């Protein structure tokens, strides 16, 4: 039984015309101010863009410590997830509306030219994307 191609799956997903709402930025801090800020970028029209507005910078009020921002993405778009302060993505996803969390997690490897090769164990083939880090 042959595996489906990952680039073909992405093209099939892009045919779907319903946007999906996902978490674009999130603060996760405890009362002592320990934790992290997560943010996501989406590859849209060959340019990396923020999924949503940034989470609040404050850590004093409870509403700031657990702040979550939502944004719309389209099926088949590639998403990079960062924790602020880190220069490399923690996770890669493809928007897949049939998945439980609307995201299909990918494995990413940085190439010598600075781009990334994305793969998935259940699909053959790969996707090459540019560096999503904001400079």
Cα atoms in the 13 Å half-sphere on the side-chain side of 38: 18
pLDDT digits (tens, 9 = 90+) for 9-44: 888 888 888 888 999 999 888 888 788 889 999 999
Q: How many helices (H) and strands (E) does the chain have?
A: 2, 10
3-state DSSP assignment of residue 8? helix
Quote the number of domains for the chain: 1
Torsion of CA 21, 95, 39, 84, to 10 degrees: 170
- Confirm whether 135 is domain-assigned: no
Q: Domain of 68?
A: 4-129
- Confirm whether 11 is domain-assigned: yes
Residue with tokens 């939502």: 70
- Confirm whether 106 is domain-assigned: yes
- Confirm whether 73 is domain-assigned: yes
pTM for this one?
0.85
- Confirm whether 134 is domain-assigned: no
């Amino acid at each position: 039984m042959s595996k489906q191609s990952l680039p073909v799956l992405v093209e099939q997903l892009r045919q779907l015309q319903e946007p999906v709402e996902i978490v674009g930025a999130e603060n996760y801090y405890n009362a002592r101010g320990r934790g992290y800020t997560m943010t996501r970028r989406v590859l849209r029209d060959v340019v990396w863009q923020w999924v949503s507005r940034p989470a609040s910078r404050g850590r004093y009020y409870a509403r700031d410590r657990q702040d979550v921002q939502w944004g719309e993405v389209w099926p088949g778009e590639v998403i990079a997830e960062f924790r602020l302060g880190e220069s490399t993505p923690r996770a890669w996803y493809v928007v897949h509306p049939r998945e439980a969390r609307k995201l299909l997690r990918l494995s990413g490897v940085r190439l010598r030219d600075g781009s990334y090769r994305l793969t998935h164990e259940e699909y053959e083939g790969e996707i090459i994307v540019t560096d999503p880090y904001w400079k």
